[in-house]
Amino acid sequence: MNSEDYIRLVDFAWDVAQKSPESVRTEVFEITYSTLLTQTFSIDFQTTKLDREIITSDELLLPHSTLEQKFQAFANKCNLSIREMKDIFYIDDDEIHLLQTLTGTDAEKQAIVSQCILTSYQILFEKEWLDSTKLMKSVSDSNIGGMDHFARNMRRRKNILIRGKGRGTVLEYKITNVGTLETFDIIHNLIKGERQ
């Protein structure tokens, strides 16, 4: 893509965001722009007009239709191939586990794996909130220890990266937008060996 194409993407994403409530305008811009940027690898700007008649904001925000397409979009966000992503994640039905070996304290490993799992569920299964039992099982099945202190470690992590709501058996967690962006880098670095 040349600089004109990027300018067109930014302009279009900004137009879409302006129609949204002010409280979510920035998120709508980011989602629209990143979705368009991902799609531009298959869009020929010479033959496709990028305007409201061709691509509407509703069409941009539609989820991908299959798990494989969602996984491909996820891999693109992490700047990895699907094959590389499959070296990191094990997915069985709606169960997700991280296969990568990590170093650090149990609390650090739990935080990293939780970010990766929450981001995966959000992108692949469109689950914004994940109950604590399911998250704990995914983290534990990813060969992370110290699960007796998981709730305490997550309370410490509940800041700009991970949010929680509820108590006891109805406790749920979600990844924030900032956490999601950081997770893309973490996953990329895990497979490229830059972070362990």
pLDDT tens track, the chain, 196 positions: 555 666 777 777 777 777 777 777 777 777 777 776 665 444 444 433 433 333 333 444 444 468 888 888 899 889 999 899 988 999 888 889 999 888 888 888 998 999 999 999 999 998 999 999 999 999 999 988 888 888 888 777 656 688 888 877 788 989 988 888 889 999 999 888 754 4
Tell me, what's the pLDDT at 196? 41
- Count Cβ atoms within 10 A of the Cβ of residue 59 and give its class: 0-12 exposed, 13-18 middle, 19 or more buried: exposed
Q: Where are the domains of the chain?
A: 3-60, 67-192
Distance CA 86, CA 94 (A): 15
Max CA-CA distance within the chain? 57
Inter-residue contact 165 to 172 (CB < 8 Å): yes
Q: Which CATH class, in words, describes the domain spanning 67-192? A: mainly alpha
Residue with tokens 């991908």: 64
- pTM of the predicted structure, to 2 decimals: 0.66
Coil, strand or helix at 69: helix
Inter-residue contact 109 to 102 (CB < 8 Å): yes
